[in-house]
Amino acid sequence: MNRPSKSAKAWGALKAWGALLAASTLALGACAVSARAAPCGSSAPGFPQWLEEMKRDAAADGVSQRTLDAALTGVTYDHAVIGRDRGQRIFHQSFEKFSSRLVTSARLSKARALLQRHAALLAQIEARYGVPGAVLVAIWGLETGFGADNGRFRTMQALATLAYDCRRSAQFHEELNHALRIVERGDMSPAQMRGDWAGEIGQTQFMPSSYLKYGVDFDGDGRRDLIRSTADALASTANFLKGKGWRSGAGWNEGEPNFAVLLEWNQARVYVKTIALLATKLTDAQ
């Protein structure tokens, strides 16, 4: 999820692509919206009509009017989202150039400090899911600068814009369906759902489908809060990796068993190699 102007997020987040893989396997439940959608479009004028048709489909599939009003009232076509979606050249850089801009001495220093600060939490997460703290902290740092910048896009507006756009309409329509389900269940309000341009939410950037499937309440407060709870965010990330086949004790660099699992997190090989590099540097420093 390429971010051309925002620290770790500026370069780190192609998360939408990896998390979208989960959309096809997640059961929606009784209140979920079906895959049928109004025709897509490539410009703003057709968006209002598309949105009204989408609302009617959602209501027919059991989404309450209260949820639709809360989630979609005031949603407009977002040109900034389309611009971000079209501008993903950074992932064509060489690994050397890409990683050198991300694995900096400042980020390494911050990551090492957080690895120590959260040592007990990370040990508990590894005991349950088998994913080392160094890997989780590396993802955390590259996705949002360790939770410093989770994104400011309105999730519903971003997802609706991309669901309407013809480039990957079906994929993002499913993610919009999942986001409506999150609101319908009362897990988050639309106002709380702010993140990056492709609908990612929280400190490690979960798509709505992955939130529903892999999000966990690790701090025991009764809710899965990937935005404010570091424990929930990191444990959910570990749960995602475990669910994709993470092998406890195995390596994660290219050519090792868990590298393929990291590619489930993010399909951009240059980005995954950078996660692996940062995690390895953190492990070597311990």
The sign of the dihedral angle between the CA atoms of 125, 131, 133, 136 is negative
Q: Tell me if 209 sits within 8 A of 23, measured CB to CB.
A: yes
Q: Please confirm, yes or no, whether 126 is among the known catalytic residues.
A: no
By residue count, the chain amounts to 286
Give the C-alpha separation, 139 to 96, whole Å: 18
Which is the catalytic residue, given 52, 96, 126, 143?
Answer: 143
Give the C-alpha separation, 236 to 255, whole Å: 25
**Looking at residue 21, what DSSP letter applies?**
G
Instruction: State residue 201 phi and psi, 5-degree precision.
Output: -125, 140
Give the C-alpha separation, 244 to 55, whole Å: 33
Which of 145, 149, 150 shows the shortest CA–CA distance to 110?
A: 145
In one-letter notation, the amino acid at residue 69 is D
Give the C-alpha separation, 100 to 88, whole Å: 18
Instruction: State residue 195 phi and psi, 5-degree precision.
Output: -165, -145
Q: Tell me if 99 sits within 8 A of 273, measured CB to CB.
A: yes
Instruction: State residue 224 phi and psi, 5-degree precision.
Output: -90, 100
DSSP H helical ranges for the chain: 7-12, 15-20, 47-60, 65-72, 79-86, 95-102, 105-117, 119-129, 133-144, 155-164, 169-185, 208-214, 230-243, 259-265, 269-285
Residues with a known catalytic role: 143
